[in-house]
Amino acid sequence: MIDVNRRDGKSKAPQVKVITPQTNVYSQWTYLVESSSGDLLLVQRFLQVGDDLQHATSRFKVFKLLLEQLEQGWPMLVEVKNLGGDTLFLGDNQSICVSASKWPRCQPDSIYYTDDYIEILHHLPYGRRDIGIFNIESGRFGTHYILDPSHKDMPPSIWIVPTVLGN
């Protein structure tokens, strides 16, 4: 966390503080996302790699960071089993959260994700395939986009966020 308005009095540098504690489980990807209600969420994404070196998301764990409650000097993490009607969009370029009630085509309590893995070797010969939707309450996976086989050499997908979401 970087607070550009707060100085420590000794220097003109912004105050920097690490706010994400270690978890007891290793995940291949971790994201920080602010919920629509202002909570800070830590999302862990777990991959499974097959014999053909193809990888696929196998599960997610979502934690709420309680910044005011410290445990051994770190903010407390509380695992959540729903997103309070929110929808998360996770990706390498940006991760965002929206209220599904304001965006009716979004599935509530779900995580839309893209294939973040940069190494092209792991995508041969089929191309990127790890794109989908995960419902946090049911634990089920679904699809939001079927990749065209002719796009197998494309770089990782990104989310394009309209400026209306920033308001």
Residue pair 122/75 in contact (Cβ under 8 Å)? The answer is no
Domains of the chain: total = 1
pLDDT of residue 155: 65
Q: How far apart are CA 105 and CA 116, in angstroms?
A: 24
Average pLDDT over residues 39-57: 82
For range 68-78, the mean pLDDT: 75
Residue type, 115: D
Read off the pLDDT of each residue in 6-34 and give the average, rounded to a whole number.
71
Domain carrying residue 152:
2-166
pLDDT of residue 59: 92
C-beta of residue 85 within 8 angstroms of C-beta of residue 101 = yes
Cα-based angle 119, 122, 126 (whole degrees, multiple of 5):
120
Does residue 80 have a pLDDT over 90?
A: yes
Residues 147-166, mean pLDDT to the nearest whole number: 65
Lowest mean pLDDT among 5-9, 102-106, 120-124: 120-124
Yes or no: say if 141 and 132 are a contact pair by the CB < 8 Å rule: yes
- DSSP letter at 24? S
Is 5 or 120 the better-scoring residue by pLDDT?
A: 5
* Neighbouring C-beta atoms of residue 11, cutoff 10 Å: 8
Predicted local confidence at residue 124, as pLDDT: 54
Q: What's the CA gap between 55 and 87, in Å, rounded?
A: 24
Do 140 and 155 contact (CB within 8 A), yes or no? no
pTM of the predicted protein model: 0.75
Task: Say if residues 92 and 114 touch (Cβ distance below 8 Å).
Answer: yes
- How many Å from the N-terminal Cα to the C-terminal Cα in the chain? 22
* Chain mean pLDDT for the chain: 78
